Amino acid sequence: MTLILINPSEFDLEISLAYATPNNVTGKQIYRHSFCYLHTDAAKCLKKASELAKHIGYRLKIFDAFRPTEAQWILWHQFPDPGFVADPRKGSPHSRGVAVDLTLIDHLKRELDMGTKFDDFTTLSHHGAMNISAKAQENRILLMGIMTAAGWDFYRNEWWHYQLFNSRRYPLYSDRAVPNRLME
């Protein structure tokens, strides 16, 4: 199988899938189950990022990873803004299993200040946002350094989103592609 289950203990990270709860930008639970999957290529880069974060005293916390095409349509219908939500007709790197939304946490599992919450669909979420605190800017740069050193590309509009380079070369997957479905 090309998509593999991400085990928190094996990868030494936290998983808190936002779309498996109603505490997300839609206000509705999109995933019925909280299984975190990634393409094997992305999983290798995630493991490297986790090791780099641990080396400097932090851990990763994942908000989203593989997102079935069915879920991408739900997000698109709620927020048809291609600056923040990929048009499902073109395909999202999440629906290819090669994107991850995440942050850094400290030893007490507290999220570092990144200037906005996850899925804040405003210009404050852009990597170049200057109207956030200096500490939040430093934390974003720290996360970007870890992720790019581990082989990830960043998306300029979302401080939390990282994807593999050339993500469109990977196929799109529906919920049926994984043994433990997220949507059913």
Q: Which of 76, 152, 147, 79 is nearest to 114 (CA)?
A: 147
Residue 158 among the catalytic residues: yes
Active-site annotation holder among 51, 70, 158, 184? 158
Distance CA 16, CA 90 (A): 27
Q: Which of 65, 40, 62 is nearest to 143 (CA)?
A: 62
Instruction: Give the DSSP letter string of 40-98.
Output: HHHHHHHHHHHHHHHHTT-EEEEEE----HHHHHHHHHH---TTTS--TTT--SGGGT-
Q: Which residues are catalytic?
A: 158
